[in-house]
């Protein structure tokens, strides 16, 4: 693959809603917010699979829809009973729903993450936090708030994980992992 290719110039626009555009390039989907800020990309699939491992089980919750790759993958794990995905941006949901064949099998809720977490009566055995686009000083407080709220719906023996982009600066990695300490 040519490293000079850019999804928003060389890819094909396959769906959009509001300010959300979805491009396809080299078989991968790329979701961006209209200002060429990449929200999600199928090209990170191997990273997601590696981070998720065999941890998903029982009733699962995914915060952030992206390309729907993560909830679709989690649904394939035998230990998983159900997957609920919460996405704040209705334009992401509308745009991805037009191109993901399995979308009707996904349980996607449009709600603010904190509102959903604090108002839900559900308990989840596995929660994957994937609703931020980078880990740095500007996003760590937000991620910390989300994690605190996640703990209110996490089953006693549940697993709480967050997506860590391989491009995260090393100085934020320890802080990020400490946020997910369940002890």
Between CA 39 and CA 66 the distance in angstroms is: 7
Q: With pLDDT > 90 as the criterion, what percentage of the chain qualifies?
A: 61
- Tell me: do 101 and 126 sit in the same domain: yes
Q: What is the chain's alpha carbon radius of gyration, rounded to the nearest angstrom?
A: 16
- Tell me: do 99 and 152 sit in the same domain: yes
**Beta partners for 49?**
none
Q: Is 181 exposed, middle or buried (0-12, 13-18, 19+ CB in 10 A)?
A: exposed
Contact criterion met (CB below 8 Å) for 62 and 83: yes
Q: How confident is the model at residue 182 (pLDDT cuts 50, 70, 90)?
A: low
pTM metric for this prediction: 0.91
Please report the sign of the dihedral spanned by the C-alpha atoms of residue 115, residue 118, residue 123, residue 126.
positive
| CA neighbor of 180 nearest in space, from 115, 126, 119 | 126
- For 162, residues 6+ apart whose C-beta sits below 8 A from its C-beta are 128, 129, 130, 143, 147, 176, 179, 180
Q: How many domains does the chain have?
A: 2
The answer to whether position 122 is within a domain reads yes
Q: Which of 42-46, 56-60, 62-66 has the lowest mean pLDDT?
A: 42-46
Start-to-end CA distance of the chain, whole Å, equals 44
pLDDT digits (tens, 9 = 90+) for 148-161: 999 999 999 999 99
The answer to whether position 1 is within a domain reads no
The answer to whether position 156 is within a domain reads yes
Look-up: residue for tokens 């809603």?
A: 17
The answer to whether position 72 is within a domain reads yes
147, pLDDT greater than 70: yes
Domain coverage including residue 38: 7-42
């Amino acid at each position: 693959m040519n490293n000079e290719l850019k999804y928003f110039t060389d890819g094909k626009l396959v769906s959009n809603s509001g300010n959300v555009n979805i491009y396809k390039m080299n078989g991968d989907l790329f979701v961006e917010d209209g200002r060429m800020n990449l929200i999600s990309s199928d090209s990170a699939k191997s990273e997601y699979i590696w981070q998720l491992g065999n941890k998903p089980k029982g009733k699962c919750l995914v915060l952030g829809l992206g390309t729907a790759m993560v909830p679709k993958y989690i649904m394939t794990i035998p230990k998983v009973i159900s997957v609920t995905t919460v996405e704040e941006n209705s334009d992401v949901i509308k745009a991805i729903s037009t191109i993901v064949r399995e979308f009707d099998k996904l349980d996607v809720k449009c709600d603010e993450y904190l509102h959903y977490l604090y108002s839900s009566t559900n308990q989840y055995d596995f929660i994957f936090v994937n609703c931020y686009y980078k880990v740095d000083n500007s996003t760590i407080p937000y991620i910390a708030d989300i994690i605190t709220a996640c703990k209110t719906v996490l089953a006693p023996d549940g697993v709480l994980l967050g997506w860590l982009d391989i491009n995260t600066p090393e100085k934020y990695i320890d802080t990020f992992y400490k946020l997910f300490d369940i002890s």
